[in-house]
């Protein structure tokens, strides 16, 4: 048995290739989708939530075919992939009447998780129209929230899978590379936070962060079948002071180097970000470092 290469942290060997060849030989009419599912089950290649790593496995088999290690069954059909040619979210108009008041006069503020709901398109549209970064389709596990007051949207928040290696966070948690690899799915990254431009309500932002901290674990488990123990975010220091995160008791962890994950020049090429983290349980270090 010889290793051929490593794909998504899995070592692929000559025995693995022969296993896939045997599956194809025994089932001449098998489709590529069913083939990848069978391979995932045989290798126990599953996500933390128990779902098969089907898409990852298909990418591996395409790589094996491109490099001449095997010949896949012919394609039975090519499904439409809306993500291949992404279009920006359509514009949805809502009332922009000014909301200038105190937060106690705005109660109750209702935070609604809208992923896979009829309001998801509204979330996408509001982020595209009013967030300075616009809307990008999240990859991996993610949730989307709209905050409503008096039946109207006042804010949007999004959380997704956490970045792999972040120095200040990893040092603060105290985990090693093995624990990071095994338990990174127990973290979520606040990718978007938007208070709609016509809403001026002091302390609303920190109030919403508090609501998220109390509800996101249940929402995440409902969709992905595993808990969250930690939230994190980056704040662009050239635009924002991070006041609402500090007011909501998020912990300042340090600054980024301003180079990006793919930089090889070791020179600053983007704005410095301040990193904040928020533990969702008291014994978060024990759970993240030791399980």
- For 33-84, how does the pLDDT look when each residue is reduced to its tens digit (9 = 90+)? 999 999 999 999 988 778 899 889 999 999 999 999 999 998 877 666 555 5
- Are 191 and 138 in contact, with CB atoms under 8 Å apart? yes
**pLDDT bucket at 291, cuts 50 / 70 / 90:** confident
Rounded to the nearest 5 degrees, what angle is found at the Cα of 213, between the Cα atoms of 212 and 215? 65
pLDDT tens-place string over residues 116-151:
999 999 999 999 999 999 999 888 899 999 999 999
Work out whether strand 99-100 and strand 199-200 pair parallel, antiparallel, or are unpaired: parallel
**CATH: 3.40.50.920, 3.40.630.30, 3.30.460.40, 3.40.50.300. Which one for 99-290?**
3.40.630.30
pTM above 0.85, yes or no: no
Segments of the chain assigned to CATH 3.40.630.30: 99-290
């Amino acid at each position: 048995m010889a290793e051929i290469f490593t794909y998504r942290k899995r070592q692929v060997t000559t025995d693995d290739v022969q296993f896939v060849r045997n599956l194809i030989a025994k089932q001449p009419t098998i489709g590529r989708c069913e083939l990848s599912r069978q391979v995932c089950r045989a290798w126990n290649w599953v996500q933390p939530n128990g779902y098969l790593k089907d898409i990852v496995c298909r990418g591996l088999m395409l790589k094996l075919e491109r490099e001449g290690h095997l010949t896949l069954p012919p394609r039975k059909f090519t499904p439409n992939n809306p993500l291949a040619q992404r279009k920006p979210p359509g514009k949805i108009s809502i009332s922009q009447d000014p909301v200038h008041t105190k937060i106690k006069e705005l109660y109750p503020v209702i935070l609604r998780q809208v992923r896979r709901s009829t309001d998801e398109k509204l979330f996408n549209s509001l982020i595209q129209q009013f967030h300075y970064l616009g809307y990008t389709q999240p990859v991996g596990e993610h949730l989307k929230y709209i905050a409503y007051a008096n039946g109207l949207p006042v804010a949007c928040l999004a959380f997704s899978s956490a970045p792999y290696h972040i120095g200040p966070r990893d040092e603060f948690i105290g985990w090693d590379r093995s624990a990071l690899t095994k338990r990174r799915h127990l973290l979520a990254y606040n990718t978007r936070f938007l208070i709609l431009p016509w809403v001026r309500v002091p302390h609303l932002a920190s109030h919403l962060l508090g609501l998220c901290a109390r509800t996101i674990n249940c929402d995440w488990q409902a969709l992905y079948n595993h808990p969250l123990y930690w939230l994190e975010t980056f704040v662009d220091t050239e635009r924002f002071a991070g006041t609402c995160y500090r007011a909501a008791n998020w912990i300042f962890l340090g600054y980024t180097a301003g180079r990006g994950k793919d930089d090889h020049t070791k020179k600053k090429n983007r704005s410095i970000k301040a990193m904040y983290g928020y533990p969702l349980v008291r014994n978060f270090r024990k759970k993240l470092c030791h399980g």
